[in-house]
A and B are shown apart, each in its own frame.
Chain A
Amino acid sequence: MGATASQLGKDLLSEYQELTFLTKQEILLAHKRFTELLTREERDLNLNTRVPMARILTLPELKSNPFRKRICYVFSTSEQKDGSLTFEDFLDLLSAFSDSATLEIKSHYAFRIFDFDDDGTLDRGDLEKLVNCLTGETDDTQLTPDEMRQLINNILEESDIDKDGTVNLSEFQHVISRSPDFVSSFKIVL
């Protein structure tokens, strides 16, 4: 990258505008916030500098989100699978969560966030983890095992169209496509 880390080049900026759903102001704001996460030495390096997950999660927009770690893992391109993000990964994240991203891309990433074991389908284990994330994981907020079983059976009955015991991407997108609230709730704005 020809650009210095502190300032995005004009070409790069327009390239990002082309490749993400973000506007120019949003990209610049994202860059500013991302640079704040870097230490002094890292700021001199290029755009491929990775910020470890722990530091990403100090962002107030992600801090209290129960899916924060999954979000980092899904958008990270790191080979160690440590959930660290480069600036471009960060832009990908913001683009998928932006106001104008399509339902298709949002549902795709939502599916991957919910797919806790990364096997390409949502099975019973994934659904249980997902429900626990939604209700909070302490004992008094968790559903009882009985309720959980009933709930997961109901979910599979509703959305597992081909009855193979798991929810795959197209079945997931089918559910999502019938709920327009999703686009407004799957949103993180800096």
Chain B
Amino acid sequence: MASELHSQHTGNSYPSDQQSLRLRQDSSPVSNQNYPQFNWSSSPAEDEVDNSGPPRDLRSIPLPMSLKRAVWQVQQMQVPVVSKVESWKWKKTKSLHKLKDRTRGFLYFITLWGKTLQKIGGNFGGGVQSYFLFLRFLVVLNFLSFLLLAGFVLIPSIVFRSVGTSLQNSTGPEECMNYNPNPEGLVVFYHYFLDFLSGTGFMEYSYLFYGFYNNTIVEDRSFSYNIPLAYLFTAVFYFAFCLICIIARMGTAARVAVATGGSAVGNYSKIVFIGWDYGCLGDQATKLKQKNLHYRLQVDLEEERLRKQAAALTLGAKILLYSLRVFMFFVALGLIFAAFYGIFEATNFSQSRTGEEGILGLIFEYLPSIVITAGNFVVPMLCDQIALVERYSPSTTVILALLRAVFLRLVSLGVLLFTLWRQITCEGDTNSQDCKQCQYNNKLYPCWETRVGQEMYRLTLFDLLITIAVLILVEFPRRMVVDNSSNMLTQWVGRQEFVVPSNILGLVYGQTVVWTGALFCPLLPFINTIKFVILFYCKKITLFYNCRPALKTFRSTTSTFFFLVVLLFGWGLALVVMIYSLAEIRPSMGCGPFRFFPSMWSIVPTSFYRLSQVTQEFLFFIGSQAFSIPLFTLSCVVMCYFIALASVYGNSVALLRSQIKLEGRDKQFLVKQIEKLKQLEMPKQ
């Protein structure tokens, strides 16, 4: 059979591994061909035919089709010989394969933007594609969250609003009940637009915000639905759901990052062997890719030379460089704190001027957003300039710039929330004059939850408006100027690059705002879904019309993990806000589903004691030490097992590597021996 295969297939001859050494060694004296030719196909085919064990997946054998077919036919004939169990196993794997293929085909049809992503990857490389993949992940996450919120809160609220009983609070003081969200009668048309932008007026008392939801409880003989409880649990599950999604994605990214080792070892080999993207379409993209690779190789070689120079640097020069770095670090820190102070002041000012009307009022309301956006725009640019002076290696520079930007983005949001907190709870002092009556500042905030929701709604909307404005007012004109003028300056400025890290951070920030606001504005995930879909198309347009591929390519594997970690930071910030507002602050007495309760969480114990005895005992058991300690121990044992397994694998990898080196030395030794023997034989002939 094997010989038959050979004769069928002589065209594609390529020597086998065992022969290679011999052939290479004696190629110069003996060979009458230009190159020794090697038969790649011979060895695996023979193995396959001789092998009576379970057949390998034919598709993964590198043979031409005619040979594969021959092997397949042999396999088909062999099937009856195999035992029943094995043939059953074989059939099972085959049907599994088929199922997998089908699902893959099906998934391909429902995957969002599959073709677009492929096109982006082909034209701009994996780094930019990773941004769009991240964006798609967030869109799907937000949409699923919206379905969760809609299913358990929104739809029941709409359905039961007329059916259920909703009670008015009559226990608290009269002043705290005052909440009248629609004070004005007739409004001018342009007011609608202003209201839409700031979430006030007709928007305020709607399903969009916390204040509109009622404390409806529907109770039938067989069915009961408690809206406040559903509201609370949905929010908690929303957070858990997002955490699970992020962790699952992180697991994949981590596996990839660990597999690569993430180190600089094999850097040049990687660029040369893996650098080419076969999905590149068109001459333009090919040329750019080639330029890109050329640049990268040159820079890396240059960097290596610089590193060698730096190692030989004198002590004085080193001290100068390090002191410069420390100084620049403090400058960057100072910039960031200046930005914080600006945000703090702006929020205070904006909150003290809430009564203003018209355009001026709108500006005052949007002032914190404007200052935050300006800060996030200016400070990273300055930090980038600082990074140039610091002269770190390029990879460190990227990480440093990212960390500074993350810090600025998330903490500036924290400052905004802190200012809001100070005014809602009178700096945490419930005995002060403003807060004495209702335990929150009821004069400024008759329904403080709605107010926080509005703030987050504005931040979300403002972020989108800024992106669109920048697209229309900055990016398009820039491209037109650059393309249509041959001025030295404009050519030097050039088209913009698509900077992946800062764009990703924008997404993380937007998502954090949504998480923070989701408790107070249940429709925010839905708004964010729409926002991110619009963002996807905006970014795609600007990418294809305004951007040139980045000169510095962006490594996608390790950074995916880093982005998810940053996303987790945002999640953590939002979680702190949620836990604090659930447990500590008194819910508004005049609005919302929790108007009776001293804190939002207190509804849980209240409803818990209304459950049946058995359920209560079961839940108590799950919470008790008798259950949790064994569970904890078990998880520890499982974890230890996996850690041990990992270290064993690591050891065997190290062993195998040293073995390869030894074998190599053996091989060289044998080659030398062969050469010596040959020289001995030569004179005899």
Contacts and interface: CB of A to CB of B under 8 A. Distances in A.
A188 B286 contact: no
B35 interface: yes
A181 B126 contact: yes
10 contacts: A19-B72, A60-B281, A79-B11, A80-B11, A105-B62, A127-B272, A155-B272, A158-B268, A162-B664, A176-B273
A166 B576 CA distance: 57
B556 interface: yes
B557 interface: yes
A27 B65 CA distance: 14
Nearest to A90: B65
A117 interface: yes
A15 B69 contact: yes
B277 A154 contact: no
Interface in B92-116: 101, 104-105
B25 to A, nearest CB: 11
Given A20-B59, A120-B14, A186-B278, A155 B269 contact: yes
A65 B278 contact: yes
B107 to A, nearest CB: 11
Interface in B17-52: 17, 20, 23-24, 27, 34-38, 40
Given A105-B60, A163-B664, A180-B260, A92 B274 contact: no
B123 to A, nearest CB: 12
B166 interface: no
A130 B557 contact: no
Interface stretch (B292-300, B396-404, B526-534, B598-606): B292-300
Contacts of A118: 14, 35, 37-38
Interface string A5-21: 00000000001011111
Given A89-B64, A180-B256, A185-B126, A161 B276 contact: no
Interface string B249-265: 00000001001110001
Interface in A69-96: 75-81, 88-89, 91-92, 95-96
B298 A66 contact: no
B491 interface: no
Contacts of A76: 11-12
A188 B58 CA distance: 21
A93 B337 CA distance: 58
A158 B266 contact: yes
Interface stretch (A28-36, A37-45, A135-143): A135-143
B667 A151 contact: no
A163 B290 contact: no
Interface string B190-226: 0000000000000000000000000000000000000
B181 interface: no
A141 B280 contact: no
B254 to A, nearest CB: 12
Contact of A92 (B65, B279, B285): B65
B15 interface: yes
B38 A151 contact: no
Contacts of B664: 161-164
B17 A169 contact: yes
A67 to B, nearest CB: 7
Contacts of B68: 19
Contacts of B304: 154
Interface string A176-190: 111111101111110
Nearest to A133: B276
B661 interface: yes
A65 B280 contact: yes
- By CB atoms of chain A within 10 A, which of B66, B268, B281, B660 has the most? B268
B267 interface: yes
Given A120-B14, A120-B38, A95 B59 contact: yes
Contacts of A136: 287, 290-291, 294
Given A64-B285, A112-B14, 12 more contacts: A19-B72, A64-B280, A66-B276, A105-B62, A119-B23, A120-B24, A134-B276, A162-B665, A164-B664, A176-B274, A180-B557, A189-B279
Contacts of B556: 181
A101 B278 CA distance: 14
Interface in B274-323: 274-283, 285-287, 290-291, 293-294, 297-298, 301, 304
B138 to A, nearest CB: 21
A187 to B, nearest CB: 5
B657 to A, nearest CB: 8
Contacts of A189: 118, 279
B570 to A, nearest CB: 26
A121 to B, nearest CB: 7
Contacts of B274: 175-176, 179, 181-182, 185
B653 to A, nearest CB: 11
Contacts of A65: 278, 280, 286
B297 A108 contact: no
Interface string A121-149: 10000010011011110000101000100
Contacts of B182: none
